[in-house]
Amino acid sequence: MSNDFFQISTDAGIAHLQLNRPERLNTMALPFFPLLRDAVRATADGGEARVLVVSSTGKHFSAGMALDVFGTDDAFLVTGTARARLGFQEQLRRLIDCFSALDEVRIPVICAVQGGCIGGALDLATACDIRVCSADAFFTVQEVHIGMMADLGVLQRLAKIVPPGVAREMAYTGERVGAERALQVGLVNAVRPDAAATLAHAMSLARSIAAKSPLAVAGSKLALNHARDHGTAASLAQMTLLQSAIFDTDEIALAIDAWRAKKLAAFDALGPVAAR
């Protein structure tokens, strides 16, 4: 599956979505968003993929939203009347949903960043489960530089990934956070020398995840996301329901046998989700 913005493929349970407009710094025009949403959901719903790696091409991961979007007379950007503002809200809600797809799909998502992860690209990256980056990577909430607040999820997710004060400093100043600082504050899990090594590390993580029970991994993502957004008591209550729904003694026996034999278990794929 490919389009003007990215290509995506699946092999051995690992899906790989790679941004492929390096000549435009992998900037995001409005058509990019629903294409990303649909590709991510279709990949997860297909049932074969157990983990998704998002990477990029060229010098920078992505320079975020293409600036020419803000220079258009698109009706989406018109806010002069109450009706126009209501329409703007709905359009923005739909854009937000496109990145939320990464957060909400049942498989983990790993983001491999090289160079700049700027503006909307940081919204995308923070919607992923795990981030790794190259030594030349930097992260910035770019929107404050052009007179607007970031509005596609980074302000809501960043402070749950890094210390709140760091998130606020990034949001208020737009300063670049380099790779080592990103590692220090927990924005990324690892720093590798260059883009190739970063992608290799992301794929290594993906293989490790894909080797585990897909039931256990999907359940863990559901539990972690719920705990992030709810209190401890509510999350523990959800855990009793979630575990009772997916507890599988055959899956556990298969995992234990493989662990004892020091070999990979042949777990069944999650299976497809019926199209709506």
Q: Kind and range of the H or E element at 32?
A: helix 32-46
What number is the average pLDDT over the span 91-96? 95
Q: pLDDT category, 76, cuts 50, 70, 90?
A: low
pLDDT 10s digits, 229-268: 999 999 999 999 999 999 999 999 999 999 999 999 999 9
pLDDT at 56: 98
With 70 as the cut, is the pLDDT of residue 172 above it?
A: yes
**Is this model's pTM higher than 0.75 or not?**
yes
- Beta-carbon contacts of 238 under 8 Å, excluding residues fewer than 6 positions away, are 223, 226, 230
Per CATH, the homologous superfamily of domain 6-210 is: 2-enoyl-CoA Hydratase; Chain A, domain 1 (3.90.226.10)
User: How far is C-alpha 109 from the chain's CA centre?
Assistant: 5
Handedness of CA 36, 28, 125, 168 (dihedral sign): negative
Distance separating alpha carbons of residues 177 and 166, to the nearest angstrom: 10
Q: Write down the residue that tokens 């256990």 correspond to.
A: 216
Beta strands, E only, the chain:
6-11, 14-19, 51-55, 109-113, 116-118, 130-134, 138-140, 177-178, 190-192
Helical segments of 105-145, H only? 120-126
pLDDT at 265: 95
Count of Cβ atoms closer than 10 Å to residue 33 Cβ = 22
pLDDT at 75: 54
Q: pLDDT category, 72, cuts 50, 70, 90?
A: low
pLDDT 10s digits, 189-221: 999 999 999 999 999 999 999 999 999 999 999
Percent of the chain with pLDDT over 90: 92
Distance separating alpha carbons of residues 166 and 158, to the nearest angstrom: 9
